[in-house]
């Protein structure tokens, strides 16, 4: 198992999916699970800051996510919400919703069940999030913490928004990234931080393939996932 944590804009999702593909492993995006609950909160007209109401709703909804790197969809009560959970409204509300202790307790328990199931069926899994190495799977044999400068992360987020048809001033994008970092790092339960034994990888100046080469080498050094195929040829950045 590979536990991959880090803030937004570090290339975490892209790298985690590609690494899972090269390892012929399962894949779990835990952040999408919090986004599904957030979408349910917004659709119900609940204030994301109302922890009691958010927790009550979370207990009554069904959250499903795909575990294949080529099909990591998400569903709310059986309906596909893969696109809806990436909207601006969810982006803005996901931090307060994910800070609710009961929401985290519910989803961490589900995440652990998914991990156990995929490991039993496939033999390996790459799990990405913000508390994987510290809370969800503290015994993971390989823990990665991706980082990048705030300027680079904001630029990447702006490029993602532009690709999705959303436009915002660079200073607004940077403010949004800083806000998410502040909220995720300061929450009382499972704050964003690197596990003590996590390997930090700064992706600021690295292309996707360079990050993957480094992670494959780390996996090899740990004596795990020896089937990792070294990537070649891509010029895209995380």
- Domains, the chain, ranges and CATH? 2-221 (3.40.50.300)
| Closest residue by Cα to residue 1 from 219, 195, 203, 194 | 219
pLDDT at 163 exceeding the cut of 70:
no
pTM for this one? Answer: 0.86
> Residues of the chain with pLDDT > 90: what percent?
65
The strand pairing partners of 27, in sequence order, are 126
The strand pairing partners of 142, in sequence order, are 2
Report pLDDT for 234. 41
Report the C-alpha gap between 102 and 43 in whole angstroms.
19
Report the C-alpha gap between 3 and 132 in whole angstroms.
6
Q: How does residue 236 score in pLDDT terms, banded at 50, 70 and 90? A: very low
Please state, as a whole number, how many other Cβ atoms lie within 10 Å of the Cβ of residue 168: 15
Element (H, E) at 214: helix 208-221
Residues in the chain: 238
**Helix, strand, coil: what percent of the chain each, to 5?**
50, 15, 35
Q: How does residue 156 score in pLDDT terms, banded at 50, 70 and 90? A: confident
| Mean local confidence (pLDDT), 10-38 | 94
| Mean local confidence (pLDDT), 47-67 | 98
| Mean local confidence (pLDDT), 206-230 | 80
**Lookup result for tokens 């503290």:** 138
pLDDT at 238 exceeding the cut of 80:
no
Report pLDDT for 89. 96
Higher pLDDT, 231 or 156: 156
Report the C-alpha gap between 126 and 120 in whole angstroms.
14
pLDDT at 96 exceeding the cut of 60:
yes
- C-alpha distances out from residue 143 to 12, 55, 89, 132, 219, Å: 13, 30, 31, 8, 10
Which runs of consecutive H residues, i.e. helices, occur in 24-79?
30-43, 51-60
Report pLDDT for 189. 81
pLDDT at 206 exceeding the cut of 70:
yes
Mean pLDDT of the chain: 88
Report pLDDT for 235. 39
Q: How does residue 233 score in pLDDT terms, banded at 50, 70 and 90? A: very low
pLDDT at 226 exceeding the cut of 60:
no
What six digits make up the tokens of 162?
């532009």
Q: Max CA-CA distance within the chain?
A: 50
Report pLDDT for 162. 62
């Amino acid at each position: 198992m590979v536990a991959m944590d880090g803030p937004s804009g570090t290339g975490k999702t892209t790298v985690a999916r590609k690494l899972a593909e090269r390892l012929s492993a399962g894949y779990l995006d835990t952040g999408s699970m919090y986004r599904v609950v957030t979408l349910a909160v917004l659709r119900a007209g609940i204030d994301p800051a109302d922890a009691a109401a958010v927790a009550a709703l979370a207990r009554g909804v069904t959250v499903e996510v795909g575990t294949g790197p080529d099909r990591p969809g998400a569903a709310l009560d059986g309906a596909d919400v893969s696109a809806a959970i990436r909207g601006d409204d969810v982006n803005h509300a996901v931090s307060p919703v994910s800070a609710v202790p009961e929401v985290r307790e519910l989803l961490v328990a589900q995440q652990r069940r998914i991990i156990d199931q995929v490991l039993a069926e496939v033999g390996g899994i790459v799990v990405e999030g913000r508390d994987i190495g510290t809370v969800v799977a503290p015994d993971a044999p390989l823990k990665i913490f991706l980082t990048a400068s705030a300027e680079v992360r904001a630029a990447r987020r702006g490029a993602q928004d532009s690709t999705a048809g959303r436009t915002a001033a660079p200073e607004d994008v940077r403010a949004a990234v800083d806000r998410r970092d502040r909220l995720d790092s300061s929450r009382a339960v499972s704050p964003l931080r690197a596990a003590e034994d996590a390997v930090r990888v700064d992706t600021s100046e690295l292309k996707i393939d360079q990050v993957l080469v480094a992670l494959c080498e780390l996996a090899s050094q740990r004596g795990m996932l020896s089937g990792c195929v070294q990537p070649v040829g891509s010029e895209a950045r995380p």
